[in-house]
Structure 1
Amino acid sequence: MASGAEAKKVLFICLGNICRSPTAEAVLNHVLKQRGLEGWEVDSGAIGSWHVGLGPDRRAVNVMKRHNIPMDHKARQLTKEDFNHYDYIFGMDHENISDIKARAPKTYTAKIELFGSYDPKKELIIRDPYYDDDDKGFEKCYEQCLRCSEGFLDSLK
């Protein structure tokens, strides 16, 4: 492996799993590929069940296409099994972290962290662009996820 980072299992969680978390999933997979890192398992899920089975928001897909990053995901909800399957469960904001911890079994092995804690610009909250009228918030979300993905991988060296 190029950076010496051991393969991990990473799960991104946001409220509905159609904006921020599938963007983070796609971006981390892209950065892993760029770095020549193999064997990682990266997925994303939701706190709520509203969008289960649906693809990402069209605006998220458009932003990923502009950056030549493949995005192929169907929304799913966080499960109890996820807490012992994944090494890291990343929430996009403090409310996500609270919801994740509230759904956790009594014992689990995953590290639950705010994805933004890896942002070198210290923007802790990954912007939720769901209610925006255009792609600008999705572009911001992409930029944050790119910085956080790089920062996370760099922290494992």
Structure 2
Amino acid sequence: CCMTFEVIAATSVCFQPSTLKGTITPEETMSEKKKALFICLGNICRSPIAEAVFLKTVADAGVAADWEVDSAAIGAWHVGKSPDHRALSTMKKHDLPYDNRARQIKKADFDKYDYIFGMDRENMSDLARLAPGAGSKAKQLLLGD
């Protein structure tokens, strides 16, 4: 469940401040925020950590106002619950504030978010199965690829 070191390392490598600043063009800053959603099986370990690391990274890069970020689960087992105590402990240790509760991904998320990051290949397979079809807005990416 809580592969915390791997998630923090992968998220930190994927979202270096130098790359984040180039992700939004001047035209986009006048329109709407970019939206990223992080997905894992239960939304109590990996995806909340990835969300927290991403939020800190965009804040440190000075582009937090340009992003809307959330996390969600493939399954509904933990909906409404706080992250696992090990995930919370890891986030606290790395000064990553977090206060969201687990939720399950919805079909509407595929049109709301620009990017949906799965934490592993099984998540990616589940996302492909749950996606509404070819017309959805979200680009689905495996975190760390």
Aligning the two structures, in what range does the TM-score lie when normalised by the shorter sequence? 0.7 to 0.9
Report how far residue 53 of structure 1 moved: 0.3
Q: What is the CA distance between 1:52 and its match in structure 2?
A: 0.2
1:90 corresponds to which residue?
Answer: 117
1:66 aligned residue: 93
User: Shift of residue 99 of structure 1?
Assistant: 0.3
Q: TM-score, normalised by structure 1?
A: 0.71
Match of 1:18 among 44, 54, 71: 44
Distance 1:22 1:70 in 2: 10
Query: What residue number does 2:140 align with?
Result: 112
User: 1:19 deviation in Å?
Assistant: 0.2
Match of 1:100 in 2: 127
Normalised TM-score (structure 2): 0.77
CA distance in 2, matches of 1:4, 1:72: 29
String of CA shifts for 1:59-108, please: whole Å, max 9, x gaps.
Answer: 11111111111011100001000001000000000000000110010220
CA distance in 2, matches of 1:12, 1:112: 10
Report the Cα offset of residue 39 of structure 1.
Answer: 2.6
1:21-40 CA-to-partner distances (Å, cap 9, x unmatched) read 00000000001111111231
Q: CA deviation at 1:116?
A: 1.4
Q: How many residues align?
A: 117
How far apart, CA to CA, are the structure 1 residues paired with 2:106 and 2:34?
Answer: 19
Shift of 1:5: 2.9
Q: Which structure 2 residue ranges, 5 or more long, are not aligned?
A: 1-17, 25-32
Unaligned runs of 5+ in 1: 118-157
One-letter amino acid of the counterpart of residue 24, structure 1: A
Q: Structure 2: how far apart are the matches of 1:49 and 1:8?
A: 26
Q: Cα offset for 1:4?
A: 3.8
Matched, 1:33 2:59: yes
d(CA) in 1 for partners of 2:94 and 2:48?
15
Partner of 2:35: 9
Question: Structure 2: which amino acid aligns with 1:110?
Answer: A
Which structure 1 residue ranges, 4+ long, deviate > 6 Å from structure 2?
none
In angstroms, what is the RMSD of aligned CA positions? 1.5
Please give the alpha-carbon distance, in whole angstroms, between the structure 1 residues aligned to 2:50 and 2:60.
Answer: 15
Corresponding residue of 1:77: 104
